[in-house]
A and B are shown apart, each in its own frame.
Chain A
């Protein structure tokens, strides 16, 4: 067991592409760190540099207190679970799991003991003599896990291990891997593009974009205090609604005017984000989480400064909640970050050529909103987020230095 450290690590390919740039993270001993980001953000490259499958162009990777830049994979004392599982097809499950132990020339009875134990933990006992092709996807995934845990390595590396499973199995294995990691207490670096996996599994989550680290924080911290527009838009499903507005003085406090809508900011919000004062009479990007919107008919009366008006375009009833997509008379925030996020989600930015912006609200299922209705929406203004439209950074304290750490 050991800590893993990226110290200003970069990966530059021969054609000059910087896949990872100046990457700095320390993973504590026994910690579960999730690396998350859209495809092509460099997260897998970062993982493969720890595994020794990718050369490190600049910087240093440490496992324990050893610099491993030039240590071959087999001497790094790590175990990796591949997205494809990478099982040895001609070997039985037992031989697959024992492969790494045989290489280390462990005594036979020790190998048998460890394989049996791993099989028991992973419920693989009935399948030990089968070949991988006779297993289901979930079982293959568990064999890959088994192969990693019998090695009792200093560090687990997992490269999107659940992405080949169906939705139900994925949820189940998600919990299982998290539990296993906690039991074994092995430092784990886990790569995924699924922000739900990132939020539910990690002790901390590192968000990457275009090879650059955006923010490392505990999942809730990441959700509540995103350091910039990209993190704000990437974490959370449905994504945070982003509108463009103008910050104005309104009496003692501040208000933000977005198109025909005005939201007044509560005093505790402006106190918590003193840097807002510097944006008075300037354009800002306002972020509203879907759960901070509620149908006024359900939420009851709210003062004028806490309401938005819109037209319901689409409702998705999920039983426990109701997702309502509304067009609001306010300009959408369009920046490089929002474009990239929209592309990652595989959607065009809705309403880019229409007046108004589509926002998503997570309403109570008691709401009676129908498509085409005019809806009054109550906004929890104490939970608003603000970003600088030029830098994309969150507007927090006076230094505006990227928010809380």
Chain B
């Protein structure tokens, strides 16, 4: 008896509390409804053209010009991979894809290496003029790359870098560095000082600290930087048009398929979709490194 009467009042508040929170949860959801609807609309606005591009690329080439992509819904059996096969048979486009990959991967890798080394130096090493130099780097953030096109063009002409993949890689790295250094320095500076001091006392050299601690701990920022830089350079048209003639990345190759009267849409659609799908895949592959709280548990 005594146990029952003791238990009863203790047990009853719990379910009541739960129904209250459920009601509160519903209210919260309703309050967020307009915002969520807006987000869905915006997302659809962005997705529809992409989706249209995908469907267009799947349509038989002889019918693309006479009907819209939505007709594919009415006649799904019409869908074909023929356009993709034709694209991969076109050696110019395949070369262009390869060129794009070399430039995007190469400049991203080089940028990450240089920016992380510089970021570490700006964050954790003390040398004369460090802060002044960092201000200069920040100042470079506001320099648009367009103003450098002509001078660099003449520089590349005289050094033989014109129309080479290396030339394009170096240009992208140079203009990616201010942002890269800025981003990584700030992230590295947030790594607790105690960890680095502890490693120094443990006998680690600066190189070991950089490769064994800074790089793994800086992974979220490094992954962000890599994704941004990869997307920018993968999608670049202007720089490639300026510094390349025979070296053509995919964007330039697609651009050259445009005609004043009627374009090779059966080549452009799959190539564009491919050019869009690769960065998306890269983003999805790297996004798990955007994990917050990677530093949890190190210092209290």
Q: Which residues of A contact B (CB under 8 A)?
A: 51-53, 72-76, 78-80, 82-90, 99-100, 103-104, 131-135, 137, 140, 147, 151, 164
Contact = CB atoms under 8 A, between A and B. Distances in A.
A99 B216 contact: no
10 contacts: A53-B201, A76-B201, A80-B198, A84-B194, A86-B195, A87-B297, A88-B199, A88-B298, A90-B217, A132-B297
Contacts of A133: 293, 296-298
Contacts of B216: 90
A151 B300 CA distance: 23
Contacts of B198: 80, 82, 86, 88, 147
Interface of B: 192, 194-195, 197-205, 208, 213, 216-217, 293-300
A104 to B, nearest CB: 6
Contacts of A104: 203
A131 B297 contact: yes
A47 to B, nearest CB: 12
Contact of A74 (B202, B296, B297, B300): B202
Contacts of A90: 216-217, 294
B297 to A, nearest CB: 3
Contact of A78 (B195, B201, B294, B300): B201
A103 B205 CA distance: 9
Given A52-B201, A74-B200, A99-B204, 6 more contacts: A51-B201, A84-B192, A87-B195, A89-B296, A99-B199, A104-B203
A84 B299 contact: yes
Contacts of B299: 82, 84-87
Interface centre among B203, B217, B293, B298 (most CB of A within 10 A): B203
A99 B203 CA distance: 9
Contacts of A140: 297, 300
Given A86-B192, A103-B202, A53 B197 contact: yes
Given A82-B197, A86-B194, A89-B217, A100 B297 contact: no
Contacts of B213: 88
Nearest to A132: B297
A82 B194 contact: yes
A84 B204 CA distance: 19
A99 B297 contact: no
A356 B7 CA distance: 55
Contacts of A88: 195, 198-199, 213, 298
A74 B205 contact: yes
A79 B199 CA distance: 10
B203 to A, nearest CB: 4
Contacts of B297: 87, 89, 131-135, 140
Given A90-B294, A103-B208, A85 B300 contact: yes
Contacts of A147: 198, 202
B82 to A, nearest CB: 49
B202 A100 contact: yes
A73 B201 contact: yes
Contacts of B204: 74, 99, 103
Interface centre among A74, A100, A131, A147 (most CB of B within 10 A): A74
